[in-house]
């Protein structure tokens, strides 16, 4: 019997949105546009389609067999216990590192208003408040995340509408602004090679949407909510990303964007918004807290799922009446606290390398979802059964094509000298997991 529902459908939808719309869109989009230009829009379109297919593969598995550990449990069931072990612990590490990076960034953002405030004070307060929320109840977590994400969503909508107002009315409109500005230098200013190198930038912008698989398990009816959330959220994210970036490039030529400045600040400043930089700083602070909040939720649920599979201490699986795996949350809070301390102790470059390894781990998670789906379809075929009502569009062929897309992104990163370190770190992590798994697995 399922415990009382913790998350409503609007919570689940916004959790998925929040996972993909992060501080990078508000702060890093200037650098991305400056390096890739209009090619980035095509990269987002292709990446969005690939991530939609990944989520549909996961959705088919959710409807076939709802499971609290989602893709980690499916990896165990359809690939093998080792795959579930590697996937679950890798996903926990992803959100630990991402959470540490976000709350550290929150300390930087707070110094915009309070220059003398030590960064560790903000980080400690963030961990304490978000930890308390996650310990109180799943519903409270969902409500807080809903409002944090709403700030991000409204900011993106405001940019799109405000940019359209500038373009249509001529209000504070730069002389060169207009649709032609969008394609300064051509549609592929850096050739096909530029498009390929823009793919990793784009696809990792969607990192976090896979937490739909965990969030729907905390709803009243995963089989009912998963199709609605998956079908709606990906397209909203795609519209937000492509719409916002297209508006920015129609107002300011991408060749003139300052990679060190947020283009959101430039657009809002053009609208005459006082203290535009302060407004965007508040938004990215909200984005950082939102990411850490959802990361703490995802990490604790995955840790509890590992415990239920016998791949983590069994005590971590216990849930209180308010649906919270309290011990798993406490361990994850401790991980964030320890990580923040290490972040200040380690050289900036060393911690930066650890965070950059998230790219390889995210590709692993998405690849495991697709392979699990392939194995599931193979099992159905062996039993002579047809896929369910929420089958992945295109079936096995679309799955293989999407898997090939992920391999292409991995190859692009592996061939780039600046990115090769992330695979070395990921390989070291998997080697460590292999040793621990071999020593601790049941005989």
Q: Which pLDDT tens digit goes with each residue over 159-185?
A: 888 888 888 887 777 777 778 777 777
3 within some domain: no
| 187 phi/psi in degrees, rounded to 5 | -70, -30
Q: Which long-range contacts (CB under 8 A, 24 or more apart) does 235-239 make?
A: 235/48, 235/52, 236/17, 237/17, 237/20, 237/21, 237/48, 237/206, 237/209, 238/44, 238/45, 238/48
Q: What is the pLDDT of residue 45?
A: 87
- Confirm if 43 and 358 have CB atoms less than 8 A apart: no
Burial level of 194, CB count in 10 A (0-12/13-18/19+)?
A: middle
Q: How many angstroms separate the CA atoms of 119 and 116, rounded? A: 9
Burial level of 386, CB count in 10 A (0-12/13-18/19+)?
A: exposed
Sign (positive or negative) of CA dihedral 63, 399, 29, 110: positive
For residue 419, the 8-state DSSP code is: T
Q: Report how far apart, in Å, the C-alpha atoms of 162 and of each of 148, 149, 257, 272, 356 are.
A: 21, 20, 18, 11, 34
Q: What is the pLDDT of residue 353?
A: 64
Enumerate residue ranges in the chain where pLDDT < 70.
1-5, 23-24, 27-28, 320-322, 343, 346-355, 442-443
| 388 phi/psi in degrees, rounded to 5 | -75, -170
Q: What is the pLDDT of residue 88?
A: 94
Q: In sequence order, what are the beta bridge partners of 219?
A: 7
Q: How many angstroms separate the CA atoms of 294 and 315, rounded? A: 23
Q: What is the pLDDT of residue 346?
A: 65
Q: How many angstroms separate the CA atoms of 196 and 373, rounded? A: 27
- Confirm if 251 and 235 have CB atoms less than 8 A apart: no
401 within some domain: yes
Q: What is the pLDDT of residue 225?
A: 84
Q: How many angstroms separate the CA atoms of 295 and 156, rounded? A: 22
Rounded (5°) CA angle 258-348-15? 70
Q: What is the pLDDT of residue 1?
A: 37
Separation of first and last alpha carbons in the chain = 31
Q: What is the pLDDT of residue 241?
A: 83
Q: Report how far apart, in Å, the C-alpha atoms of 356 and of each of 14, 23, 190, 209, 364 are.
A: 26, 16, 25, 18, 14
1 within some domain: no
| 7 phi/psi in degrees, rounded to 5 | -110, 140
430 within some domain: yes
235 within some domain: yes
2 within some domain: no
Residues 12-56: tens digit of each pLDDT: 888 877 777 776 677 667 777 777 778 888 888 888 899 999 999
Query: Token match 């400043």: residue?
Result: 269
Read off the CATH number of the domain in which 284 is found.
1.20.1740.10
Rounded (5°) CA angle 143-144-147? 90
Q: In sequence order, what are the beta bridge partners of 7?
A: 219
Q: Which long-range contacts (CB under 8 A, 24 or more apart) does 105-114 make?
A: 105/23, 105/284, 105/288, 106/285, 106/288, 106/289, 106/292, 109/281, 109/284, 109/285, 109/288, 110/285, 112/277, 112/278, 112/281, 113/278, 113/281
Query: Token match 């549609």: residue?
Result: 187
Residue-range definition of the domain harbouring residue 45:
9-440
75 within some domain: yes
Q: How many domains does the chain have?
A: 1
CA 118 from centroid of its chain's CA atoms? 28
Q: What is the pLDDT of residue 296?
A: 92
Sign (positive or negative) of CA dihedral 369, 237, 49, 204: negative
30 within some domain: yes
């Amino acid at each position: 019997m399922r415990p009382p529902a913790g998350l409503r459908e609007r919570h689940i939808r916004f959790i998925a949105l929040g996972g993909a719309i992060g501080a990078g869109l508000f702060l890093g989009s200037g650098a991305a546009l400056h390096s890739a230009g209009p090619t980035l829009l095509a990269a987002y379109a292709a990446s969005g389609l690939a991530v939609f297919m990944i989520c549909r593969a996961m959705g088919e598995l959710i409807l076939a067999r709802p499971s609290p550990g989602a893709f980690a449990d499916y990896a165990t069931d359809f690939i093998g216990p080792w795959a579930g072990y590697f996937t679950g612990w890798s996903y926990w590490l992803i959100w630990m590192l991402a959470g540490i990076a976000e709350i550290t960034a929150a300390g930087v953002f707070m110094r915009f208003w309070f220059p003398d405030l030590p960064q560790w004070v903000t980080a400690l307060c963030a961990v304490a408040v978000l930890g308390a929320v996650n310990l109180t109840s799943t519903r409270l977590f969902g409500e807080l995340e809903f409002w944090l994400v709403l700030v991000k969503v409204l900011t993106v909508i405001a940019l799109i509408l405000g940019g359209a107002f500038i373009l249509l009315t001529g209000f504070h409109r730069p002389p060169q602004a207009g649709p032609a500005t969008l394609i300064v230098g051509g549609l592929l200013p850096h050739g096909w090679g530029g498009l390929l190198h823009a793919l990793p930038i784009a696809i990792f912008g969607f990192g976090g949407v896979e937490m739909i698989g965990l969030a729907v398990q905390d709803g009243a009816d995963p089989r009912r909510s998963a199709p609605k959330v998956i079908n709606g959220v990906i397209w909203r994210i795609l519209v937000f990303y492509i719409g916002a970036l297209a508006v920015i490039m129609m107002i300011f030529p991408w060749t003139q964007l300052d990679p060190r400045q947020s283009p959101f600040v430039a657009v809002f400043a053009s609208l005459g918004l006082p203290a535009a930089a302060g407004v965007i700083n508040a938004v990215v602070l909200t984005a950082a807290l939102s990411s850490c909040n959802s990361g703490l939720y995802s990490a604790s649920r995955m840790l509890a799922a590992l415990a239920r599979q016998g791949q983590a201490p069994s005590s971590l699986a216990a849930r209180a009446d308010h649906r919270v795996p309290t011990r798993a949350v406490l361990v994850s809070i401790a991980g964030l606290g320890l990580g923040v301390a290490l972040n200040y102790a380690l050289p900036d470059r060393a911690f930066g390398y650890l965070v950059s390894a998230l790219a390889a781990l995210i590709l692993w998670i998405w690849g495991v979802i697709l392979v699990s789906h392939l194995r599931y379809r193979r099992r159905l075929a062996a039993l002579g059964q047809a896929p369910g009502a929420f089958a992945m569009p295109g079936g096995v062929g679309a799955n293989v094509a999407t898997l090939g897309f992920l391999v292409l992104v991995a190859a692009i990163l592996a061939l780039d000298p600046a990115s090769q370190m992330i695979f070395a770190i990921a390989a070291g992590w998997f080697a460590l997991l292999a040793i621990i798994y071999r020593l601790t697995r049941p005989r």
